[in-house]
Copies of this chain bind each other. A is one copy, B any other.
């Protein structure tokens, strides 16, 4: 399967655009190849009941595919009256991953809500959402720090995520939709800037994978995450 000239270890180009949503505490449109995710961060007073009185904050995420984002239009979950199992699984993953980026002990009883709405889906939407959300969270946190509402160290670290897959025996980074649909094994990796793992989710529905394949996939993923951290850093320094 062709991948438009990309090498197996090569990520798709990332493009970041801001300014679509002025009411959010931070918002950006993250394009990774043809995958486009609009991510918004909203910071609200108060915490869910299980944290009331704890002095700690909380972070939660929601995810949706816009109906026209997919090759064949997908049904609107609000109209169905129910989020799918896939949606719930993805938004739980995004929330867990991002909570590693924020020091919930330092933000008081405040809730951070991350909305990830997929405008166009060409594979890797959940990992793109995590990388985008980490960057948007950094932007929002900076504003909170500047406004004196959060201490300087509220933001703990950046988080990045990328997918890797095995396709007809080849290990490929950052799968497009057509690759993802044909892959035997699919691995999503979430990492910290320091190179540690936050999540490793490998699934072999069409095949299983060996210890060596897992190692090779983790190597590719680590390279991808390093590149995402560079892109984020350049963006924050105004270089992109």
* Total count of chain A residues near the partner, CB < 8 A: 66
Select from chain B the residue with minimum beta-carbon distance to A71: B23
- Those of A174-224 within 8 Å (CB) of chain B: 187, 191-192, 194-205, 208-211, 214, 218
Docked-complex contact B38 and A66, CB < 8 angstroms: yes
Judge if A12 is at the interface, Cβ distance under 8 Å: no
Chain B residues with Cβ below 8 Å from A44 are: 73
Judge if A105 is at the interface, Cβ distance under 8 Å: no
Q: A66-B115, A78-B64 are in contact. Are A214 and B197 (CB under 8 A)?
A: yes
Beyond A66-B117, A85-B88, A211-B218, 14 extra complex contacts between A and B, CB < 8 Å? A21-B120, A22-B34, A23-B71, A38-B66, A42-B68, A68-B115, A76-B115, A88-B88, A89-B92, A194-B208, A196-B210, A197-B204, A198-B208, A199-B203
9 contacts across the A-B interface (CB closer than 8 A): A20-B119, A22-B34, A64-B76, A77-B78, A78-B78, A81-B81, A89-B89, A198-B203, A200-B214
